[in-house]
Each structure stands twice: as structure tokens, then as C-alpha cells.
A and B are shown apart, each in its own frame.
Chain A
Amino acid sequence: MKQNTFYLLLGLIGLLEVGLFVISVLLRNPLIITVGFIMGVGLLYIARMTITDLKEDERSVMITQKAGFRTLEVFWVLFFAVSLGSAVIGFSTPLGIPPGKNLPPGFPRDEPHLGYFGILQMILLCCIAFLYIGFRVYYARKYGEWDSDEE
């Protein structure tokens, strides 16, 4: 497989994942996107191994490694912050404990703000993608990825 064919496949799988996500939300079935995403990534890994004109060497590997490391270095802080906030949302619910029989009328029994959890997760997903792209561009520039030839 040529490298450009791989990028086309990457785009197609990306679009397919977005479609699976929408179907998952509409059908309220998280398994569709979870299994679909794992299968998509697996397919991309297999496809990547078949690239015949892969332009990769120690410098490009180092750029990828540095970008990945820096992304995780920043992302874990965001992940902890959002996860702690999400835990608070989770603990605001009845925790599955059956409510007492003599509760006053109007006592909040429904799970509050659970929709926020989904929004926070989406923000996290966008953050990890933008952080990685940002760091990738930064290190690619630093190590001369787009420098012009002096010859």
C-alpha cells in the first residue's frame, strides 16, 4: 500500500467513526462506537504495516515520541481534573442505594447534570487531539521538517 492510500484510508475510517458515534448516540448503545473504534484503530495499525514507501527514520520517530510524551504530560492533568469533576457528578446521584420510603415529596431522586459528563468527555477527546497535533507541529518545525533545501 502506498502512503497516500493509507492517508485516504485514515480519512475514510475517521468519517466512519463519526458515523458510528452518531448511530451510537441515537440508539443509546455505547458498544457500537467502542467496538467500532477499537476495530478501526486495529485496521489502521495493520494497514500501516503494509505501507511500502513509508518515509520514516530516527528523526521522524523522535518527533512522534516527543509529541506523544508532551501530550500525555499535559493531558493527564486535564484528565484528572475532568475525572474528578465527573466523579463529583457521579457521587451527586443516589449511587444505586434504594431511597428511603419516608422521603419528603420533591426530594431530588433523579441523576443531576449527567449530560455534563458527556460534554466534558467530548472536550477531553478534542483536547488530546489538538494537544498532539500542536506538539507534533512544534517538534516538526524544531527539527526541520519543513525547512527548505539549501542546495
Chain B
Amino acid sequence: MKNKIKVFRAMHDMTQEALAQQLKVTRQTILAIEKGKYDPSLELAFKIAGFFGVTIEEVFVYDEAKPS
């Protein structure tokens, strides 16, 4: 699963720590998602998209070549 969290985070001028606090997860989780090491649950994915005010498809893109 590819994602654009880093891009959206930069657009909102947010650190990983700040985003993690808003979403009530650890900074390591945000880092792991950004690096593609961890695919978030549907609930967390919706929370992330909702926080940035976009749809889930705009943040997350399913990568068929690299299934989780």
C-alpha cells in the first residue's frame, strides 16, 4: 500500500509527532505507515484521511505489485 501522508503532512506543516498525537497513535506508527512498513487499519486510514479533509483514496493507493 502506497500513501501520501508525508505529502499531506508537509502541506499542513505538521511533524510526525503532532500528527500522531492528533490521531492518538505513536510517532513510530506514523513513521512505519509513511515508509510502507505497516498498513493501517481501515479505521485509522479513515481517521488520517478525515484529519487532512480528503478521501481515503487520495491518501492511500493500493499497490498490486507489493501486496502487504
Q: Name the distance in Å between A63's Cβ and chain B's nearest Cβ.
A: 9
Most buried by A among B27, B28, B38: B28
A58–B31 CB distance below 8 A: no
- Write the residues of chain B forming the contact surface with A, with a CB cutoff of 8 angstroms: 15-16, 24-29, 31-32, 34-35, 37-38, 40-41, 44
B44 neighbours in A (Cβ, 8 Å): 58
**What's the Cα separation between A55 and B28 when bound, in Å?**
10
- The number of residues on chain A lying at the interface, defined by a beta carbon within 8 Å of a beta carbon of chain B, is 14
B41–A142 CB distance below 8 A: no
A111 at the interface (CB under 8 A from B): no
Given that A55-B26, A57-B25, A57-B26 are known contacts, is A150 also in contact with B41, CB under 8 Å in the complex? Answer: no
A121 at the interface (CB under 8 A from B): no
